[in-house]
Structure 1
Amino acid sequence: MKVVTNPAYPFLADFFCHLSDCFETEGTTIYEGRNVLKRFNIEGCELVVKSFKVPFFVNRVIYTLFRKSKARRSYEYAFEILKRGSNTPEPLGYIEEYKHGLLSHSYSVSAYSGASDIREYMNGQLKDKTLLTALGVFIASLHQAGIFHIDLSPGNILYYKEQETFRFTLVDINRMQFKKITVQDAIRNFSRLAISREALSCVTREYARIRGLDEESFVRQTNQYSDRVYKKYASHLACKAWRKEGGNWFTQPYFQYVMANLFSHCPLFTKAVRDRFHKKRIRIYTSCILPFDFRKVFPESSQED
């Protein structure tokens, strides 16, 4: 087992050494999915432990021999982010456990921030232009500092309010790049940030203003790219659900949708035949794709059968 503790917190070393023994039964669960997040209070220090899922065998080999573990990257990237003048919860340490010489469990530990994520603003439920413009300034400052969070999604940006000012902090930082960020990099980085076009437009307009870009062009390009990403994501989820229910691989919803769309516009068919394929396309969308069309990027989202 490898245990690394932030030198400023030597009193946490004993807790880290016994973390794997108490993680399942102690602490308060914050999130449970592929990975698990728990909150602990150790000698008055509020901290969050992220337990990473045990990698598949091939990845265990890679993380043992060729690449740093997610826990180690989270710890080291946090220092780099803070060094570059941005904000992320203070890194407190990480633990790596090995089985038969290969990485198995790993844990990343950081200070508890008490901040909230921005999901409700990004899906349009809460409309606060002050927060959205402040978010645009924050992301611009990240990019100007050469900080590129590969998974810049609503759950990975937390905020808190100091008097009348919004402050933001990055989490889930094991997938980062530190480099010069081009306009195309920025457009791609915004692709999964917001379901709401209005929210994304507000954020990216302020971002473009800060970075001296053409505002209208940048807002249009980011929304167009985000639409493509969300369309692909909706298709993926619809097909995944179809297969989970026992559906045949060759009759997956998106394949049926594409074929119906193609035939509904084919000039070789009569209008009556094209209309039947048009209605079939709408039925496929409504029954299979609609539940996953979060951003309403398919044309049928604004149509009625």
Structure 2
Amino acid sequence: MHLKIHSQFQSFKPTLIEYIENFNTSGTVFVDGERNKIKLFELGNMTINIKSFKVPNIINRVAYQFFRKSKAKRSFEFATRLLENGIGTPQPIAYFEKRTFLGFGNSYYVSEHLAVDLTYRELVEIPDYPDAENILRQFVQFSFRLHEKGIEFLDHSPGNTLIKKRENGQYEFYLVDLNRMNFHDHLNFETRMKNLSHLTPKKDMVVLMSNEYAKLYSAKTESEIMQSMWFYTDDFQKKFQQKIKFKKRFLFRK
């Protein structure tokens, strides 16, 4: 087993190894997905979560063994880079990779478990969510800072931003599900708008987001920002709905 533990958590190495070795029979299930599973554990005086990534197919086993970084390793490294850039994400603690004679096997990403008030998803799904406009505008400011630092978060979707309420109407934002991310010297306008296209199907939210983004981005007018952001949002939603219809037809035929 290959592992890397953050320098601040080296003293917990035996405990972390024990959690990984007994992952299937210990911990509290937090997310039980088709592809990945997240469990909660106690480490010192903090709660941590351990994300177990699904064993890849045979082709990716070879790729992760020799050519590509695993999702767990990427998550750890990207979280570290985000924090170095002043972008919120749960504290990275460790990653583990298991290898077998068949190639790459399980991998695990360990991070701090944050207690938060909501995710971006609640703003989409709950009508008249308290203080929604203020939260959304601050989220756009957060996303703009991300863009200004050249960070392209490829999974910038409703469930992947955790939001914590602070005093005086202020909110903090934390990115999760980090294994797909690009770091650039500069993000062009098109990439910025595409990066915000997976967040909501609601045009009124896009109008508000465009208004706030225009206050921060002087290279384009509010009208240009709105037109582009809605174009990519609408395009994504149409493709998403087509994918759902295809899956339903396929399952029905089976």
| TM-score for the superposition, normalised by structure 1 | 0.78
Give 2:146's aligned residue.
Answer: 142
Give 2:127's aligned amino acid: Q
Task: For 2:53, give the aligned amino acid.
Answer: F
Asked if the contact 1:124/1:199 (under 8 Å) is kept, the reply is no
- With 111-120 and 58-67 compared, the bigger mean Cα shift is at 111-120
Amino acid at match of 2:156: L
Give 1:130's aligned residue.
134
Pair 1:181 & 2:187 matched: yes
- Per the TM alignment, residue 76 of structure 1 is displaced from its structure 2 partner at its CA by 0.6
Q: List alignment gaps of at least 5 residues for structure 2.
A: none
Partner Cα distance (2:191, 2:120) in 1 = 22
* Aligned-residue offset at 1:43: 2.2
Match of 1:117 in 2: 119
* CA distance in structure 2 between the partners assigned to 1:194 and 1:12 by the alignment: 40
Q: 1:208 aligned to 2:188?
A: no
Indicate how the Cα distance of structure 1 residues 229 and 135 shifts in structure 2: closer, same or farther if over 3 A, else same: same
Tell me, in whole angstroms, the C-alpha distance in 2 between the residues paired with 1:239 and 1:45.
44
Q: Write the mapping of 1:163-178 to structure 2, written as runs, cut at 5 A.
A: 163=167, 164-178=169-183
Aligned with 1:162 (options 145, 166, 169) = 166
Indicate conservation of the 8 Å contact 1:121/1:199, yes or no: no
Q: Distance in 2 between matches of 1:93 and 1:35?
A: 17
Query: What code does the residue aligned with 1:206 have?
Result: E
Q: Which structure is higher in RCO with an 8 Å CA cutoff and minimum separation 6?
A: 2
- Kindly report which structure 2 residues correspond to 1:132-281, keeping only aligned pairs within 5 A, or say none: 132-163=136-167, 164-179=169-184, 180-212=186-218, 213-246=220-253
Distance, in Å, in 2 between the alignment partners of 1:196 and 1:26 is 41
1:82 and 2:86 matched: no
The answer as to whether partners of 1:2 and 1:97 remain within 8 angstroms in 2 is yes
Change (3 A) 1:43 1:124: closer
Residue 175 of structure 1: how far off its partner (Å): 0.5
Moved more, 159-168 or 192-201: 192-201
User: In structure 1, what is the equivalent of residue 106 of structure 2?
Assistant: 105
Quickly say closer, same or farther: Cα 1:126–1:69, change in 2 above 3 A. farther
Could you tell me which residue of structure 2 aligns to residue 73 of structure 1?
74
> Could you tell me how far 1:16 is from its partner in structure 2?
2.5
* Residues 53-79 of structure 1 deviation map (CA, whole Å, 9 limit, x = unaligned): 111110111111101000000001111
The amino acid of 2:137's aligned partner reads T
Q: Is the CA contact 1:124–1:195 (under 8 Å) kept in the aligned structure 2?
A: no
By how many angstroms is 1:101 displaced? Answer: 5.4
CA contact (8 A) 1:3 1:94 kept: yes
Name the CA shift for 1:240/1:86 in 2 (closer, same or farther; >3 Å): same
Change (3 A) 1:42 1:104: same
Q: Which amino acid aligns with 1:186?
A: R
Report what 1:14 is aligned to: 14
SS of the equivalent of 2:93 reads strand
> Highest CA radius of gyration, 1 or 2?
1
Percent identity, aligned pairs only, is 31
Deviations 1:205-253 (A, max 9, x none): 2122212231122112211211111111111111111111117xxxxxx
- Per the TM alignment, residue 124 of structure 1 is displaced from its structure 2 partner at its CA by 5.5
- Report the more deviating stretch, 33-42 or 21-30: 21-30
- Using structure 2 for the length normalisation, give the TM-score: 0.93
| CA deviation string 1:78-120 (max 9, x = no partner) | 1111111111111000000011151110000011111231102
For 1:14 and 1:205, locate their aligned partners in 2 and report how far apart those are by CA, in whole Å.
51
1:183, CA displacement in angstroms? 0.5
| Counterparts of 1:246 and 1:20, CA distance in 2 | 40
Letter in 2 for 1:27: G
Deviation (angstroms), 1:201: 2.2
